[in-house]
Amino acid sequence: MHKLFWTLITESLKAIETEKPNTFDQVKAILDKGSDPMIDRKDAAFFGGSGGDETLWDALRVAGWRIIWSEADYYFIAWNPISRESLTYIEGDVERGHDHEKTDN
């Protein structure tokens, strides 16, 4: 199970880097591939690999997203210049948009 878990995490990160999703829905679709289909999260996804060597932060940056605010690598806001959409990452939870007062986007 442990090896399969990290294989799925690596595949998700590589898919983000190569497919270069530019909307929250596209990022969510990639992250949801390894998720429980019984959990329906319309405006959120989950990234379970926050304790790994490779990060969602890095994968999003490779895909063209910009980190526009962060408190730490486990709490940040990413913005895509193509779609002008943003997402918030908080300790594994990936949520559509942001409501953080420190950003102008």
Q: Is the pLDDT of residue 104 over 70?
A: no
Helix (H, G, I), strand (E, B) or coil at 82: coil
Q: Give domain status of residue 78, yes or no.
A: yes
pLDDT in tens, 23-60: 999 999 999 986 665 566 788 999 987 766 689 999 99
DSSP state of 88: E
Residue 82: inside a domain, yes or no?
Answer: yes
Q: Provide the residue range defining the domain that includes 42.
A: 2-96
Q: Return the pLDDT at 33.
A: 86
Q: Which helix (H) or strand (E) holds 69?
A: strand 66-72
Number of domains in the chain: 1
Higher pLDDT, 64 or 105: 64
- Residue 103 within a domain: no
Residue 24 included in any domain: yes
pTM, to two decimals: 0.87
* 79 found inside a domain: yes
